[in-house]
Structure 1
């Protein structure tokens, strides 16, 4: 039977479900200008510069002239327009800009960045609609993904309108945050709500490049541990290439020129020519640097609703107050990093130590009441599969750890995850259906499998208290 698009959709949906189940966490969305164009008619970088050219009288030539003159280097064109906007603002254009821009406290590029924000400030749904029933259905499915976080290079506030409970984190604020929490929209190229943060010209991009390694260091653990989908980018987009280059350097997936698939990273690409008889490529090899390629998963679609639904299989965060969770994390970090060292609080360490060693008492410190004492479960089964991979020094994370589990299953007919045992427990979860946790015994056993050493498997199943497992989750 010939392959067709319905089969493609089923296989991609199942693949996403498998990745979500293995990761046991929510996906991350990485959103580019194509997203704003699809759902709000927003401009890409070239189109935005063309709009800016029309608004400024000192840009006295067609935009195509600047493209030719500066070899389609839009960062350079952004710098030229920055100078022209400054000259115009300090002359006849002065009434078009806020008066405080002229008090000497702003950089000279504030004028073009303000113009950018004015062009994009109305970008969003019109009367609650994104342009058609099809697009509205796509956004409804997108909202149900309950993404762990959203990362975007867009300046507009479209993502914040879709995820209103998420916290906006702009530019260098990401670097200053002492932790990364759930429910955040990272605006890595700035935001129209703070025009000074917008990255538009050569100087901006130079500063961004200097900060990029620190930004990557903060976000790379997200990219390795969470399912990640790029939306609104071309495969050759520089933003994607930079991120994937850093991912490649971290996980070192290049093995003798044969590029292994990164199992948790997807790129969604629009293809209007798809028919029922189509079966698009499931993978894509992207050149991210000199002699450096990376292979990721590819999803091609004309309508995105089914794709968003596939990523929504991780479950919903509707019952989780993300604002409260972020506030709790922020206060915990402040307590450890600031209040305690400065002796702003009095601490009964004996009581605290007792609470830490007791799951129920520790939960009560945060206003959480547990169903049963889960401390033994938490202490004995403290690893997610990604944590097992770290303990074993596996460079490709949980995917390599899963391969070791598969060896046990295929060689010794021991499916560690099929039951509760000394190596593993499964904990019910409203988000993912089940969370798999592993013990030190599992790490020791898998280390022997990894090293080709002799091992003995304890196949005895355990009857763990369900209330304790529920509380542990």
Structure 2
């Protein structure tokens, strides 16, 4: 009997059932195993080997550093990287090295730490694999094209990774990348459609966690990160891919999670560890659970799926999406808008939820948002006004409001009508209509009125920055528009 295929079918059914019961999109926790599979990127040890090989000043083999830094018989690769920092610092400052342009000229700034050179080398090594991956993926000539195509259809709620490379950005082009400590400064409730790169990115060499010093700094703030991610570990199906259970990165995060949970000996039904095995004996049934030893007398029991191909897993995850495929950029903007609405102090509910007609119905909206038990009335508590409603209170034509919006955009570089934010929402986003259906909030009404009456005020930018308008002077808009401009403004509304 083919016990393995029976096991795989049962495991996929159980995963699918878990996702559908929780009624929210899965979170993917992606490790270096996927980068090695799809990018042929080097392993952690392989990366250090190339770092050693490409520095002519290093005359000892990698094994020397591994043996010299071993603790209680265990390899300590971050400590190896720390020992190589000085060698790369010396190499970078050789006249010939700088002459040959081996490192970017900007990294010779005195403002940077001396580990920037080994980090730049690590980045350049990873980028070689990335360029080849881009070529194969773009030409649809990749050996694992079927798997990658199925993976790109998954639409997870968010992706967490300790990888530096940009492979996930290629597979999920509509996802926004959030790097390192930026994650801590943002609400987890708005992390829909995002790739959370907790160990940095090759696009910012200074951000990557490479040496022991980097890990020590990371550990100082890791518990804040883990506390935020606890929401994910409890409220979403979590699928862990490309990690070994011995991987210190995953064990470290899970260890923090274990400290926050009451009973870690009970199976965590929403956490699924995917374990790769190239050779599987199909006459035997692999285990369905895994006890992960986290050290310090702590452990976690999670679901286990053993695979020798990712196709069936990705297909199952793609089928699990509770609604049809959506534009993740739109979903991300809407998520942030709803979060702002929910925490808003306003109690006016003049706009019905049905006006959010980019979505078919309320259930559809809640499913794509992956937010449970959201009060639908809260969604309408900000966007209460047409621009005409605001300008009529000033005794002015609609065009006066348009001119003020243009003034704000000109002075700040940010047009509040360009996206969904605390001031504005376009109800026609996501619909096949060329026209806008704009609604404005109490915050927008206050902002525009302050500018109109020349009162001190501020405008909030998307990055959280507040720009003051204490001395803003707006020209009288009563005769500031030609008839042609007024007609154009009216058409826009």
TM above 0.5, yes or no, is: yes
1:250 Cα offset (Å): 2.6
State how far apart, in whole Å, the 2-side matches of 1:313 and 1:370 are.
20
State how far apart, in whole Å, the 1-side matches of 2:176 and 2:182 are.
12
Distance 1:6 1:178, change over 3 A: closer
Partner of 2:285: 279
State how far apart, in whole Å, the 2-side matches of 1:231 and 1:38 are.
12
1:289 Cα offset (Å): 2.3
Q: Does 1:165 align with 2:168?
A: no
State how far apart, in whole Å, the 1-side matches of 2:149 and 2:24 are.
21
Partner of 1:154: 163
Distance 1:183 1:246, change over 3 A: same
Unaligned runs of 5+ in 2: 376-493
8 Å Cα contact 1:148-1:183 kept in structure 2: yes
State how far apart, in whole Å, the 2-side matches of 1:150 and 1:53 are.
32
> What's the secondary structure of 2:59's corresponding residue?
coil
Partner of 2:18: 19
Unaligned runs of 5+ in 1: 342-348, 388-473
Distance 1:298 1:56, change over 3 A: same
State how far apart, in whole Å, the 1-side matches of 2:142 and 2:11 are.
24
8 Å Cα contact 2:2-2:282 kept in structure 1: no
1:317 Cα offset (Å): 6.6
CA deviations over 1:78-99 (Å, ceiling 9, x no partner): 1111111111111242231122
Give the alignment partner of residue 231 of structure 2, picking from 214, 221, 226. Answer: 221
State how far apart, in whole Å, the 2-side matches of 1:22 and 1:317 are.
14
8 Å Cα contact 1:40-1:130 kept in structure 2: no
Partner of 1:368: 357
State how far apart, in whole Å, the 2-side matches of 1:230 and 1:132 are.
27
Q: Does 1:246 align with 2:241?
A: no
Distance 1:318 1:80, change over 3 A: farther
1:306 Cα offset (Å): 0.9
1:325 Cα offset (Å): 3.1
Give the alignment partner of residue 202 of structure 1, picking from 212, 218, 234. Answer: 212
8 Å Cα contact 1:129-1:136 kept in structure 2: no
Distance 1:354 1:232, change over 3 A: closer
Superposition pairs of residues 64-463 of structure 1, within 5 angstroms: 64-71=63-70, 72-92=75-95, 93-94=97-98, 95-122=101-128, 123=130, 124-128=133-137, 135-179=144-188, 180-254=190-264, 259-315=265-321, 319-330=325-336, 353-355=348-350, 361-362=352-353, 364=355, 367-368=356-357, 384=372
8 Å Cα contact 2:152-2:172 kept in structure 1: yes
Q: TM (normalized to structure 1)?
A: 0.70
> What's the secondary structure of 1:175's corresponding residue?
coil
Distance 1:116 1:363, change over 3 A: farther
Q: How many residues align?
A: 358
Partner of 1:43: 42
State how far apart, in whole Å, the 2-side matches of 1:14 and 1:385 are.
26
CA deviations over 1:407-441 (Å, ceiling 9, x no partner): xxxxxxxxxxxxxxxxxxxxxxxxxxxxxxxxxxx
1:385 Cα offset (Å): 7.9
Q: Which protein shows a greater Rg?
A: 2
